[in-house]
Chains A and B, each alone.
Chain A
Amino acid sequence: MTGERLFQGADWDFPTLQRIHDACEEIAESELGLNVYPNQIEVITAEQMLDAYCSVGMPLFYKHWSFGKHFAYQQASYRKGLMGLAYEIVINSSPCISYLMEENTATMQTLVIAHAAFGHNHFFKNNYLFKQWTDADGILDYLEFAKTYVAQCEERHGRLAVEQTLDAAHALMSHGINRYPGKKLPDLRVEEKRAQYRRQHEESAFNDLWRTIPTGPVKSVATLSADRRRALLGLPQENILYFLEKTAPRLAPWQRELLRIVRHIAQYFYPQSQTKVMNEGTATYVHYRIMNRLHLQGQLSDGNFLEFLSSHTNVVFQPDFDSKYFSGFNPYALGFAMMQDIERIVTNPEDEDREWFPDIAGKGDTMGVLRDVWANYRDESFISQFLSPRLMRHFRMFHLHDDPAETAGIRVDAIHDERGYRRVRRALSRSYDVGFIDANIEVVDVDLAGDRHLMLRHTVLNGAQLNDTDAKRVLQHLADLWTYNVSLVEVDSTGKVLKEYVANPRGLAAVA
């Protein structure tokens, strides 16, 4: 209660930032028990923030026109005032880098430091998905490697060839992810070393004579049974980029390396897309706790606290479905509400909560429960586990079932009542499940005996087929990398073929 004000008014300087950080850290460690990566706070301008937007928030990235396209688009809408900029960007790396905008007031900087440097940071360091799929220590080094490597490739093989390969790889990026952990964790730093070592070895072991030696009779492919062939190729394989990198017959080594880079980066972002609600919920909950504590301790004046509350309220605002501002669930709103709801259940449960959440209701140790939740769930499992009836009533959630076959209209399938709670919760949780969101496309076979034709299959779920134009374009890219024909069949759950695509390769600059 004897705390001095951290700052007066809206101005801040670097010592102020340091004081703010120390005050937040004190609360985060002693009161919330957070466990974070070391922080690095970087102050940037609006222009730099726009730059960061366009390289998916990363401080360094290889060069590609598509980032320029986003930049042009975003710059245009920013200038027209259609879009505000985020207050911060935080990067899952160690040290954890948070970018703060220079225009923020001192209160906003406090909010942002509490939110990003402690909330997100703790989540990055502790959530199982991030632990499993990302290597916070290695990512910046890897990006540095990727950037230089792409630049070197451009020098050696020409910009056009590199651009075409990257275009194709980007088109397949969403299908360049391992959804299930393999035998060992990917370690980006080791990967980079291995990549270097592989290239060195190839260079040192290169002998042009080998090329001239006759290779002997080719093994009769017919002897390999189809099953054995598929097993050898690791089929079916849903990581298309991985499959191409390992087996595409005519890719140059540097092209494989580029596919690998794109694949690794897609993998790095994979946990983020699965934990939007939790990640933002955690960060918002943490900043809310820290700001309140600072205010209680007198380190934040009443005026500054009101400023904070105003922007906090904006952030966690959830418009109704019929509002013109509605664009789906706001992850900040839903996440924050759920975290607060868990706090309520743990400290002050009602009978309903005891029935629904016997494990945590009335347990008393809010932070212990929350830290456990933050570490062990993703959006889908988090919602299906912890969305309480009370919260469904609060948001007045209802479930719409839109079946095109139903001519009468869209059916209200369930609402926030006793009969509907579980169905609403299941449906909401499912809408955050990447397994349902992404199209299920697999490489199923290669006609090795014949024309090396690559076969893919899309298992259609709920009748949602691929967008025709886009599918053709992506397949074209795929065929260019594979350099032989590629086909894709869309199959429904009964095995009926709904549609078939075939793409023929074009000559790429790199191959020519």
Chain B
Amino acid sequence: MVAIHIVDRRLNPGSKSLENRQRFLRRAKALVQQAVKKTSHDRDIKDVLEGGEVSIPLDGMDEPRFRREGGTRDMILPGNKKFIEGDILPRSGGSGGRAGGAGEGDSEDAFRFVLSREEFVDLFLDDLELPDLAKRKLAEVESEGIRRAGYATSGSPANISIPRTVSRAMARRVALRRPKPEEIAALEAELLICGHEARRAELLAEIEALKAKAKRIPFIDPIDIRYRRFETTPKPIAQAVMFCLMDVSGSMTEHMKDLAKRFYTLLYVFLKRRYRHVEIVFIRHTDRAEEVDEDTFFHGPASGGTLVSSALQEMHEIVRSRFRPADWNIYAAQASDGDNSTSDGEVAGRLLTEKILPVSQFFAYLEVGQDAGLTFEMPDSSLWTLYERLRLAGAPLSMRKVCERSEIFPVFHDLFQRRVRQERAP
């Protein structure tokens, strides 16, 4: 009879191949990234980040071997039905013409596999990062948290760790051989029934000795006591709020709204990756601004004139009432076709530079245009002129013009691109 072991491995940590998979992705990074970008072009923006199948060219990922091909071949096949020796079969006939090794992954020119959502987003946004300004702010505002940090020999009584203390006491009692109460009790019982004088004296002495020893070795000694220790740790703020401002006056077409939506989606996904908690506030405006839900924001009908300052004012109000800049990283993206009533420029500019920009990490203005692709011939709109002036005066504004869907990602990419040179500068 041979010994047999049955082992349940199901509880072992799975995904042993995870590291190998990551190595593969790292190696194929450039290729995969290209594939991811290409895939995302074909997809709806909402599904872009769902992960899924990508296909990369095999070049550089292949594992070459010495393989032979061509030459005369001999094959033995089963299932002969009508052939006799000496028959000649036409080559294109397909009978038996199946090449060996077909279906090997390596013989294909592209390699398809599935990326998880996480991997996809990572690769998708890999070379982007928050602008420097935002990072500085992020580093400044920190709050303190406490966390467990082992045990200490001193502390407040409320923090005594009873299990620790008792187990240390027990170890000490065992080590020093503290007499057990049962031992003493047994000796005392024996003493009661014992008639022999010499033995009685012996027992008495022994009981005395044990009792004295028990007294010398206390049940719990101050040196046994342990306290739970806590440390304070700085916790970076991990929450952000994202303001979506949009002009919904009659001049904004569905196409423009769609462009804006795509930009917001990207921004949301991007922030979501950096912050644990991201809130979105939608503010739409005509000549009045209001906070609305997402559906109304994108699809609700509205009409009227255009006053950008109303939206900025509304955002300012909301920030003041709900999002303390000390606790929140504030991002704002404004989309508009650029129309604004001329009288509003002054007010809007002041609101922006004095109230909004100082508390925001990032403010992007996206000017959306018609699909015609006439960006270059479009005269600068009134809002663009205003913001351009502010920007030149030193206000930290990011602004881009977009006309087509395909431009959204490049523009977004451009805004958040990792600026290597600045980073390396001392």
Residues of A within 8 A of B (CB): 14, 17-18, 21, 25, 36, 38-45, 47-48, 50-51, 54-55, 63-73, 75-76, 79, 95, 99, 102, 163, 167, 170-171, 173-175, 318-323, 326-329, 395-406, 408-417, 419-420, 424, 427-428, 430-431, 439, 441, 458, 460-467, 469-471, 473-474, 477
In the assembled complex, 5 residue pairs joining A and B whose CB atoms fall closer than 8 Å, in A order, are A39-B2, A39-B4, A72-B21, A327-B103, A412-B84
Docked Cα-Cα span, A342 to B394, in Å, equals 92
Q: For residue A25, which residues in chain B have a CB less than 8 angstroms away from its CB?
A: 1-2, 4
| In contact, A396 and B96 (Cβ under 8 angstroms) | no
Mask: chain B, 356-381; 1 = CB below 8 Å from A; 0 = not: 00000000000000000000000000
Docked Cα-Cα span, A403 to B73, in Å, equals 7
Contact status of A466 and B80, CB under 8 A, knowing A45-B10, A399-B74: no
A-B contact count (CB 8 A): 267
| In contact, A65 and B71 (Cβ under 8 angstroms) | no
| In contact, A48 and B5 (Cβ under 8 angstroms) | no
Taking the nearest CB of chain B, how far is it from the CB of A508, in angstroms?
A: 16
* 3 smallest beta-carbon distances between A and B, as pairs: A320-B79, A464-B71, A68-B24
Nearest A-chain residue to B27, judged by Cβ: A65
Q: Which of A329, A395, A409 contacts B91, CB < 8 Å?
A: A409
Q: Which of B8, B16, B24, B97 contacts A410, CB < 8 Å?
A: B97
Q: Which of B56-64, B186-194, B229-237, B254-262 contacts A (4 or more CB under 8 A)?
A: B56-64
| In contact, A67 and B20 (Cβ under 8 angstroms) | yes
Docked Cα-Cα span, A175 to B63, in Å, equals 14
Docked Cα-Cα span, A463 to B15, in Å, equals 45
> Which interface residue of B17, B79, B87, B88 has the most chain A CB atoms within 10 A?
B17
Say if the beta carbon of B78 comes within 8 Å of chain A: yes
Q: For residue B53, which residues in chain A have a CB less than 8 angstroms away from its CB?
A: 76
| In contact, B64 and A171 (Cβ under 8 angstroms) | yes
| In contact, B20 and A54 (Cβ under 8 angstroms) | yes
Contact status of A470 and B17, CB under 8 A, knowing A410-B88, A415-B84, A464-B71: no
| In contact, B23 and A68 (Cβ under 8 angstroms) | yes
List residues 54-113 of chain B with CB under 8 A from any CB of chain A. 61-81, 83-91, 93, 95-98, 100, 103, 105, 111-113
| In contact, A463 and B71 (Cβ under 8 angstroms) | yes
Contact status of A466 and B68, CB under 8 A, knowing A45-B10, A402-B75, A427-B74: yes
Docked Cα-Cα span, A467 to B88, in Å, equals 28
Docked Cα-Cα span, A174 to B26, in Å, equals 26
Docked Cα-Cα span, A18 to B8, in Å, equals 13
Taking the nearest CB of chain B, how far is it from the CB of A18, in angstroms?
A: 6
List residues 374-414 of chain B with CB under 8 A from any CB of chain A. none
Q: For residue A21, which residues in chain B have a CB less than 8 angstroms away from its CB?
A: 4, 6
Say if the beta carbon of B25 comes within 8 Å of chain A: yes
Docked Cα-Cα span, A410 to B4, in Å, equals 54
Docked Cα-Cα span, A322 to B25, in Å, equals 40
Nearest B-chain residue to A95, judged by Cβ: B5
Query: How many B residues are at the interface, by size bracket?
Result: 35 or more
Contact status of A171 and B65, CB under 8 A, knowing A21-B4, A76-B114, A465-B70: yes
Say if the beta carbon of B12 comes within 8 Å of chain A: yes
Nearest A-chain residue to B5, judged by Cβ: A40
Taking the nearest CB of chain A, how far is it from the CB of B234, in angstroms?
A: 31
Taking the nearest CB of chain A, how far is it from the CB of B57, in angstroms?
A: 13
Q: For residue A323, which residues in chain B have a CB less than 8 angstroms away from its CB?
A: 79
Q: For residue A329, which residues in chain B have a CB less than 8 angstroms away from its CB?
A: 76, 78
Say if the beta carbon of B223 comes within 8 Å of chain A: no
Say if the beta carbon of B9 comes within 8 Å of chain A: yes
Taking the nearest CB of chain A, how far is it from the CB of B117, in angstroms?
A: 14
Taking the nearest CB of chain A, how far is it from the CB of B42, in angstroms?
A: 19
Q: Which of B6, B17, B24, B69 contacts A18, CB < 8 Å?
A: B6
| In contact, B25 and A14 (Cβ under 8 angstroms) | no
| In contact, B66 and A430 (Cβ under 8 angstroms) | no
Nearest B-chain residue to A54, judged by Cβ: B17
Docked Cα-Cα span, A175 to B64, in Å, equals 12
| In contact, B2 and A43 (Cβ under 8 angstroms) | no
Taking the nearest CB of chain A, how far is it from the CB of B145, in angstroms?
A: 34
Docked Cα-Cα span, A320 to B79, in Å, equals 4
| In contact, A471 and B20 (Cβ under 8 angstroms) | no
Q: Which of B17, B69, B75, B78 contacts A55, CB < 8 Å?
A: B17
Say if the beta carbon of B265 comes within 8 Å of chain A: no
Say if the beta carbon of B341 comes within 8 Å of chain A: no
Q: Which of A43, A55, A411, A465 contacts B16, CB < 8 Å?
A: A55
Docked Cα-Cα span, A21 to B3, in Å, equals 11
Taking the nearest CB of chain B, how far is it from the CB of A41, in angstroms?
A: 5
Say if the beta carbon of B7 comes within 8 Å of chain A: yes
Q: For residue B354, which residues in chain A have a CB less than 8 angstroms away from its CB?
A: none
> Which interface residue of B23, B25, B64, B97 has the most chain A CB atoms within 10 A?
B64
Q: Which of A45, A67, A395 contacts B14, CB < 8 Å?
A: A45
Docked Cα-Cα span, A410 to B23, in Å, equals 46
Q: For residue A439, which residues in chain B have a CB less than 8 angstroms away from its CB?
A: 66-68
Taking the nearest CB of chain A, how far is it from the CB of B20, in angstroms?
A: 3
| In contact, A396 and B80 (Cβ under 8 angstroms) | yes
Say if the beta carbon of B22 comes within 8 Å of chain A: yes
Contact status of A403 and B72, CB under 8 A, knowing A48-B9, A68-B17, A320-B79: yes
| In contact, A328 and B17 (Cβ under 8 angstroms) | no
Say if the beta carbon of B182 comes within 8 Å of chain A: no
Q: For residue B12, which residues in chain A have a CB less than 8 angstroms away from its CB?
A: 44, 48
Q: Which of B62, B63, B114 contacts A79, CB < 8 Å?
A: B114
Q: For residue A420, which residues in chain B have a CB less than 8 angstroms away from its CB?
A: 85
Nearest B-chain residue to A420, judged by Cβ: B85
| In contact, B87 and A411 (Cβ under 8 angstroms) | yes
Say if the beta carbon of B295 comes within 8 Å of chain A: no
